[in-house]
Chain A
């Protein structure tokens, strides 16, 4: 009994798991979401709901006129709660392994572009805008299309995922190899 407890504690406090094991766990989680909640695990619609709730709190009439909020209704539901859940889950995991750390400029970025927070934050905001805009344009994100959509054998999801990486690889190469010269 005690040995099992020690084994589980060791596993939970390990810095990283094999990507194959963690990935398999995510695959099982998507199946459980279909079983218990009849829906895929996707993240970008949670942000639509959050954005809509923020807009509603500022100007209810204005938000009410937006057609998109009639398709994806801003409310606190499964898709909305997934996002704070991810924050909490990653917080617990990083605390258990002692990896929690406040950082503004990640190591790979500072090695090429220096450790000025302003530049990193400006590019991150620009990236975030394209990410949120593109996710809704494509109807999903890396989790919704890339994982959950592919699991459902969706052709549109697999094509989307291929384009996420095609665009991502092209921009990363441009940013770090061409502009950064690394």
Chain B
């Protein structure tokens, strides 16, 4: 149930993001807010639910970005694994750390997607390195807005928290 809610939240984020970008700049810049969900899952969720949730969020990204099916799903799970590994080594706490991690993950996903498309797709449809500044801006903006996503994900997790009687906090 929880991964499904995470995926639906990611879908909601993608929808809001698309509607907001329509009014803010009309597409002159872009966002990848669902990546913040993947980072959150990598830090806070369990292995199974996190992996499933990340794959679902990746599918949402595939859908919202219009990429070839499987690309963002694969990258979402990859980022999930990478962030989880990083989180095991470095304790990421606070909004600032979350934002930095989200921005980095967004940039990595964008560049990886571009490289994979260059490998697999015909050359004329593959995005080139000219898009790197745009990717940087996208990562930066996504990182800036990610604390809001963090709050939303925490709220969803709060729905599933059980109070254990007699437990002192």
A binds B: no
Q: Which B residues lie at the A interface, using CB under 8 A?
A: none
A: residues with CB less than 8 A from B are: none
